[in-house]
Amino acid sequence: MTALPKAELHVHLEGTLEPEDLARFARRNGLTLPWPTAGELRAAYSFTGLEDFLAVYFAGCRVLRTREDFHDLTAAYLRRAAGQGVRRAEMLFGPQVFLDHGVGLEAQLGGITDAIAEAREQSGIDGALLVSAHRHRREADALELLDLVRPWREHVLGVGLGGAERGNPPSKFARYFAAARAEGYRTTCHAGEEGPAAYIREALEVCRVERIDHGYTATDDPGLVARLADEQVTLTLCPLSNLRLHVTEDLAAYPLRALMDAGVPVTVNSDDPSYFGGYVNENYAAVTEALGLTGDEVEVLVRNSFTGSFAPPEEIRAARLSGA
């Protein structure tokens, strides 16, 4: 698996914060944590669902304060990803919570983009940044985020939408996605993780996004599955995340193969690897074992990861020609 070149399309930079680094950043920023050791913190990683997880995830975000923190976080993820055969990483990042803490975009995006450039030099990994708004906030906040990020336009490839899904349908953010599209951003939206298949439809029909993050509940709506296949909409599935957040209780019943067999371009991703017990290769391994995927099926998945990426078409073609 490590040897297979692949792209990762759904990973939150904040979700790559390993407990040891969380403790280190807290120390160097003079902050005290509710968890005295990294071991105790890791032991707290047992979640009843998405919102329960998000509370811990946002608590972790409190330790990220300086440009160096954002740089080191990104550098550590890209190093690990390159070590797992990831050639391209499209990383979601949500500035709103850090702005709330008084941390400016210069520190946030400056640190991240420096690390992306360095990693490209060091390992050749192609990192891209997707700015993500939180759906449990108002749409006006998401629109304001687009304004704030505008000076960074050349460093931001696309925009996404994450956060607490239930009760916050994609249609709440129709204007956000329309504005993002008008500015030339690529678009992706979390939908069908805890929310119904109707949210996936909304993301496509109302928000007109290009890609769906998760899309786990798509199989509840056969007409939607046919449409996803017909329009070749990439789903960024995250098996270990879905297991840890009780979206599914058993990966043996995971809909990945059913979606693949229906012709939907599905991909395998890590979401928040430090919280869910595995980076991208551990996700491939878990789903391969649970579903008994063949080598050919795994090859389809890695190919989908490149074709579903927001890389320029000629780069996608080149990645596929080089064996991916």
Catalytic residues: 193
# of chain residues touching ligand ADE (CB under 6 A): 11
67-83 vs 105-123: helix axis angle to the nearest 10? 30
Smallest separation (angstroms) from ligand ADE to the CB of 81? 17
Q: How far is CA 29 from CA 54, 73, 285, in A?
A: 22, 14, 37
| By the rule CB under 6 A, 215 interacts with ligand ADE | no
Tokens of 206: 């109302």
| By the rule CB under 5 A, 165 interacts with Zn ion | no
Nearer of residues 129 and 319 to ligand ADE, judged by Cβ: 129
E strand map for the chain = 6-12, 86-93, 126-134, 158-162, 186-191, 211-214, 234-237, 266-268
Footprint on residues 246-285 left by ligand ADE (CB under 6 A): 271-272
| By the rule CB under 6 A, 163 interacts with ligand ADE | yes
Q: Alpha-carbon torsion 164, 169, 170, 175, what sign? A: negative
* Cβ–Cβ under 8 Å, residues 67 and 106: yes
Residue type, 293: L
Smallest separation (angstroms) from ligand ADE to the CB of 5? 25
| Site map 32..71 versus ligand ADE, x via CB under 6 A | ------------------x------x--------------
Q: Which residue is nearest to Zn ion (CB)?
A: 271
Q: Which residue is nearest to ligand ADE (CB)?
A: 162
CA separation for the pair 137, 173 (Å, rounded): 10
| By the rule CB under 5 A, 194 interacts with Zn ion | no
Nearer of residues 26 and 278 to Zn ion, judged by Cβ: 278
The partner residues of 134 in beta bridges, in order of sequence, read: 162
Footprint on residues 255-314 left by Zn ion (CB under 5 A): 271
Give burial (CB, 10 Å; 0-12/13-18/19+) of 297.
middle
Nearer of residues 111 and 160 to ligand ADE, judged by Cβ: 160
Nearer of residues 21 and 87 to ligand ADE, judged by Cβ: 21
Q: Buried b vs exposed e over 55-75: b needs ≥16 C-beta within 10 Å?
A: ebbeebbbbbbebebbbbbbb
Nearer of residues 88 and 211 to Zn ion, judged by Cβ: 211
Contacting positions for Zn ion (CB under 5 A):
271
Contacting positions for ligand ADE (CB under 6 A):
12, 15, 50, 57, 162-163, 190, 193, 241, 271-272
